[in-house]
Amino acid sequence: MLTAVDNLFTVSVSAPGKVILHGEHSVVYGKTAIAVSLGLRSSIVIKEVNTPHEPAVHIHLPCVDLQETIPLEPTVKSLFHPKLAPGITGKFSWRLPHKIDHDYHLRRVEEYLHLIKPNFDSLPNNQKNSLRSFLYVFSGIFGSTYLPVKSMDISMGSELTIGAGTGSSASFAVCLAGALIQLLKLKSSSGNFDAYYDQSSQDFTDTEKEIISEWAFNCEKIMHGTPSGIDNATCTFGNLVSFKKGAKPRHLDIRMELRVLLVDSRVSRETRTLVVRVAALRQRNTAAVDHIMEACEHVAHTATQVLEKLSSGKCDPDTEADYQHLSELWDMNHCLLSALGVSHPSLEVIRAAAKSKGLACKLTGAGGGGYAMILIPPSTPRSTIDSLSGQLLQNGFRVTETRLGGPGVSIEM
Ligand SMILES: Nc1ncnc2c1ncn2[C@@H]1O[C@H](COP(=O)(O)OP(=O)(O)OP(=O)(O)O)[C@@H](O)[C@H]1O
Ligand SMILES: C[C@@](O)(CCO)CC(=O)[O-]
Low-confidence ranges of the chain (pLDDT < 70): 1-6, 191-201, 314-316
Asked whether this complex has an ipTM greater than 0.90, the answer is yes
- The CATH number of 256-403, from 3.10.25.10, 3.40.47.10, 3.40.1190.20, 3.30.70.890, is 3.30.70.890
**For residue 374, what pLDDT is reported?**
98
**CA–CA dist 402, 385 (Å, integer):** 12
- Please choose from 168, 172, 266, 273 the residue to mutate so as to test ligand 1's pocket, defined by most ligand atoms within 8 A of CB: 168
Protein residue with its CA nearest to atom 11 in ligand 1: 169
* CATH 3.30.230.10, the chain: domain bounds: 2-248
The pLDDT, as a whole number, for residue 196 is: 47
Q: Which residues contact 21 (CB under 8 A, 6 or more apart)?
A: 34, 35, 36, 240, 300, 303, 364, 404
Q: How many residues does the chain have?
A: 413
| Ligand 1 atom with least separation from CA of 126 | 29
Query: Cβ(6)–Cβ(47) under 8 Å?
Result: no
Residue 126: which of 270, 277, 225, 276 has the closest Cα? Answer: 270
Q: Are 40 and 165 in contact (CB under 8 A)?
A: no
Task: Considering every ligand atom shown, identify the ligand nearest to the alpha carbon of residue 270 and give its number.
Answer: 1
Q: For 158-243, where are the alpha helices, taking DSSP H only?
A: 168-190, 206-224, 230-237
Pocket of ligand 1 (CB under 6 A): 42, 61, 63-64, 126, 129-130, 156, 158, 162-170, 172, 223-224, 231, 270-271, 365-366
* Cα–Cα distance, 45 to 12 (Å, whole number): 4
Residues 6+ apart with CB under 8 A from 206: none
Classified by CATH at the fold level, domain 2-248 comes out as: Ribosomal Protein S5; domain 2 (3.30.230)
Distance from CA of residue 197 to its chain's centroid?
A: 27
- Cα separation of 222 and 227, whole Å? 9
Local structure of 74: helix, strand or coil: helix
List, for residues 140-198, the tens digit of each pLDDT value.
999 999 899 999 999 999 999 888 889 999 999 999 999 999 999 999 887 654 544 55
Exposed/middle/buried for residue 248 (C-beta within 10 Å: 0-12, 13-18, 19+) = exposed
Task: Pick the closest to residue 34 from 256, 269, 231, 326 (CA basis).
Answer: 231
Distance of alpha carbon 216 from alpha carbon 237, whole angstroms? 12
**Could you give the 3-state DSSP secondary structure of residue 152?**
strand
Nearest to 301 by CA among 74, 32, 86: 32
Residues of the chain with CATH 3.30.70.890: 256-403
Under DSSP, the state recorded for 364 is: -
Burial class (CB in 10 A: 0-12, 13-18, 19+), 138: buried
Q: Rounded distance, CA 202 to CA 182, Å?
A: 10
Q: For residue 238, what is the DSSP state?
A: B
370: CA distance to ligand 2 center in Å?
13
Return the pLDDT at 195.
47
CA angle centred on 223, ends 131 and 299, rounded to 5° = 150
Q: What is the pLDDT of residues 303-318, one digit of tens each?
A: 999 999 988 876 567 8
How many angstroms is it from 249 CA to the middle of ligand 1?
22
